[in-house]
Structure 1
Amino acid sequence: MSFFGFGQSAEVELVLSDAESRRRVEHKTEEGKKEKYFLFYDGETVSGRVILTLKHPNRRLEHQGIKVEFIGQIELYYDRGNHHEFVSLVKDLARPGEFTQSQIFDFEFTHVEKPYESYTGQNVKLRYFLRATVSRRLNDVVKEMDIVVHTLSTYPELNSSIKMEVGIEDCLHIEFEYNKSKYHLKDVIVGKIYFLLVRIKIKHMEIDIIKRETTGTGPNVYHENDTIAKYEIMDGAPVRGESIPIRLFLAGYELTPTMRDINKKFSVRYYLNLVLIDEEERRYFKQQCFALLSLMQLPVAMGRICPRRPLGSPPCPDHGEETFRKAA
């Protein structure tokens, strides 16, 4: 008699039915590496086969049942082991019994709801995966296959420009304008900065893209800021009446859509951070929240897509609330 874990008498494999034609995309792993995964969208059917291969043909394999699951879950790194599942589908493939030959089981999860974007961050991970399980008395044999989900959004009807006048009393007065408040992941941020009053000696100015990841609730809220990009606007002192154009291409940076209160577990927001440095190395900055959308074309043979509301983020609670201030 052979046992799993000692003789390893069987192996389980998961194969998607459209593996040869389905697109694969890169996605960051928890270790920071990039690997390729099969890409799915909300509402698409997930189907395939579970292949059970016996290492020793004609030798009896007893089991307590075989099943396949489709799972969407959120894992907070500070609360490891406590996974929060927002999608959980199960298909029983075989009742308890025994096999003496290798087996193939077909499965299909029809029009699966996948409401959120796959995400791997500093303190949280949102993943979708298939899991096949052969239940055994001593220890189960489990095989998992991760997939990546991208959300689809429509371009917002209202996408007003961002205009602000900020300054330090009697020292600095700047007006800056961005052409939109919502951008897609391959978009270009176009804007201008006008110097209306300059009485401090500025030697450097840049725009940073800041990603702010917020996890937890109440007293257990964690904020993680990550500078995604630095764009130098000028190197030298501006003069009154001068205007500086801004043209920042987003395609070259590792960005995700804005994610707001995902399953009441985490949020991801993006900010444009205008930074000024004077000759005495004092830093002044102004932050402005903006939304990132995942505008994508539908695949040709994609199947049914659940109609959902546009995923353009609601107004950011921080939008336009900050004042121009000196950094600590």
Structure 2
Amino acid sequence: MAYFFATPVDIDIVLDNADDRSMVDVKLDKNRREKAPLYMDGESVKGAVTVRPKDGKRLEHTGIKVQFIGTIEMFFDRGNHYEFLSLVQELAAPGELQHPQTFDFNFKNVEKQYESYNGINVKLRYFVRVTVSRRIADVVREKDIWVYSYRIPPEMNSSIKMDVGIEDCLHIEFEYSKSKYHLKDVIVGRIYFLLVRLKIKHMELSIIRRETTGAAPNQYNESETLVRFEIMDGSPSRGETIPIRLFLGGFDLTPTFRDVNKKFSTRYYLSLVLIDEDARRYFKQSEIILYRQAPDPAGAQNQIMASAPDNSSKIMPGVHSMQ
């Protein structure tokens, strides 16, 4: 039975300079990863397509085309795809193939306005699609690429300072040196204890990614803790200062995304958590902006100012939040 559904043709898509191009290790799911070639905004996407009839048999077709497509796939929305970019080139007019044939394609200076993203409920992807049209059933092959969008380091980058606590029990000051970080940056800060009447067991700093997809009333929010870093073990004393130094380069982070194509947003928060001897948790969250800085800032093709963060800190629901 499989014979009747076997495709009568093999299609190979080869991108130019594939061996010299940087590759991105992409997380598909919890246990699967794959590598995709890296492209930038404004860069041409070109290569060659080889169409090879199987077993030397003659292949009749009603046309061969190649497309370069950018889509946003919403997993909760019945797998609906929203195309924000679609370019097409005709490779062959209707006819027949009996021998392998190679076709060149070149999508010049393509604007890729968004960075690729593979999240919990949404995926933004760019890919080359080749379609051999036939009267019975089309034969389609796709090849994904990955896109980075670099940003110029922001001119203004204010620190985050906050004075929080629980009345007559706990009073602390915490400070992070800045509010915007590139993906290889270091979070530097300190925590100063003004009043400690709780028996604190330990304290940790977490990075939380919050993905928002869709629009009200059909809006979905997913939060995941990407990093959990213990910064203190044992009860602090009044007047004690705890330094913070957290290197971001070793973690699977993306830039902050704001209302991408009116479909999704991705925000990051620093969450300071204190746990007492009764396992009660006290916490405070502050939003930070993450951006991708070019390895050579002068050489980036698309440099856009990093967007400003929301200056208001966020208090998340839980057992206790520090005011």
TM-score of Structure 1 vs Structure 2, range by shorter chain = over 0.9
C-alpha deviations, 1:284-321, integer Å up to 9, x for none?
Answer: 10000001111122599x9x93x4522x233237x325
In structure 1, the residue matched to 2:304 is 309
Q: Which residue in 2 is equivalent to 1:187? A: 185
Change (3 A) 1:164 1:173: same
Q: 1:323 to 1:123 in 2, by over 3 A?
A: closer
Query: Are 2:69 and 2:83, in contact at CA under 8 Å, matched by a contact in 1?
Result: yes
Give the structure with the higher percent strand. Answer: 2
- What CA distance in whole angstroms lies between the structure 1 residues aligned with 2:320 and 2:220? 21
CA distance in 2, matches of 1:92, 1:299: 37
Instruction: Return the alpha-carbon distance in structure 1 between the equivalents of residues 178 and 297 of structure 2.
Output: 28
> How much has 1:55 moved relative to structure 2?
2.0
Give the ranges of 4+ consecutive aligned residues of structure 1 lying more than 6 Å apart after TM superposition.
none
When normalised by structure 2's length, the TM-score is: 0.93
Give the alignment's TM-score, normalised by structure 1.
0.91
Q: Equivalents in 1 of 2:61, 2:108: separation in Å?
A: 27
The residue type paired with residue 314 of structure 1 is A
Change (3 A) 1:284 1:31: closer
Distance in structure 2 (CA, Å) of the matches to 1:25 and 1:325? 37
Q: Which amino acid aligns with 1:251?
A: G
Shift of residue 268, structure 1, vs aligned partner: 0.7
* Whole-angstrom distance in 2 between the partners of 1:74 and 1:86: 8
Secondary structure, counterpart of 2:172 in structure 1: strand
Write out per-residue CA displacement over residues 47-91 of structure 1, whole angstroms, 9 at most, x where no aligned residue.
00110112233x432111110000110111111342011111111
Pairing 1:327–2:320 present = yes
Determine the structure 2 residue equivalent to 1:206: 204
User: How far off is 1:160 after superposition?
Assistant: 0.9
Aligned partner (choices 261, 264, 272) of residue 262 of structure 2: 264
What is the letter of the counterpart of residue 92 of structure 1?
E
Give the letter for the 2:307 counterpart: S
Q: Secondary structure at the match of 1:56?
A: helix
Instruction: Look up the match of 1:244.
Output: 242
Tell me how far apart the structure 1 counterparts of residues 209 and 34 of structure 2 sit (CA, whole Å).
Answer: 22
Q: Is 1:166–1:324's contact at 8 Å kept on the other side of the alignment?
A: no
Question: Hey, what does 2:232 align to over in structure 1?
Answer: 234
TM-fit CA distance, 1:110: 0.5
- Tell me the residue number matched to 2:25: 26
Deviations 1:232-290 (A, max 9, x none): 11111111111000001111111111111111111111111010111222111000000
Q: State the distance in 2 between where 1:200 and 1:148 align.
A: 49
SS in 1 for 2:76: helix
Aligned equivalents of 2:4, 2:316: Cα separation in 1: 62
Partner residue in 2 for 1:105:
103
Deviation at 1:226, TM superposition (A): 0.5
- The match for 2:221 is 223
Q: 1:88 aligns with which of 79, 86, 89?
A: 86
Q: Does 1:165 align with 2:163?
A: yes
CA distance in 2, matches of 1:93, 1:299: 38
Give the gaps of 5 or more residues in structure 1: none
Q: Any idea what SS the aligned residue of 2:80 has?
A: coil
Residue 117 of structure 1 deviates from its aligned partner by 1.4
Instruction: Please list the CA deviations of residues 101-154 of structure 1 after superposition, one character each: whole Å capped at 9, or x if unmatched.
Output: 221111000111111111111111111110000000001111100111111111
Instruction: Give, as a single letter, the amino acid of the residue that structure 2 aligns with 1:76.
Output: M
Which residue of 1 is the match for residue 77 of structure 2? 79
Q: Secondary structure of the residue that 2:151 maps to in structure 1?
A: coil
Contact 1:179 1:191 (C-alpha < 8 Å) held by counterparts? yes
Calculate the aligned-residue CA RMSD, in Å: 2.2
CA gap of 1:135–1:185, structure 2 versus 1, over 3 A, is: same
* Distance in 2 separating the partners of 1:94 and 1:63: 9
Following TM superposition, by how much is the alpha carbon of 1:20 offset from its aligned partner in structure 2, in angstroms?
2.1
**Partner Cα distance (2:273, 2:318) in 1:** 10
Q: How many residues align?
A: 319
Which residues of structure 2 form unaligned runs of 5+? none
- Among 129, 132, 137, the residue aligned to 2:130: 132
Q: In 1, are the aligned partners of 2:285 and 2:314 still within 8 Å (CA)?
A: no
Query: Percent of counterpart pairs with the same letter?
Result: 58
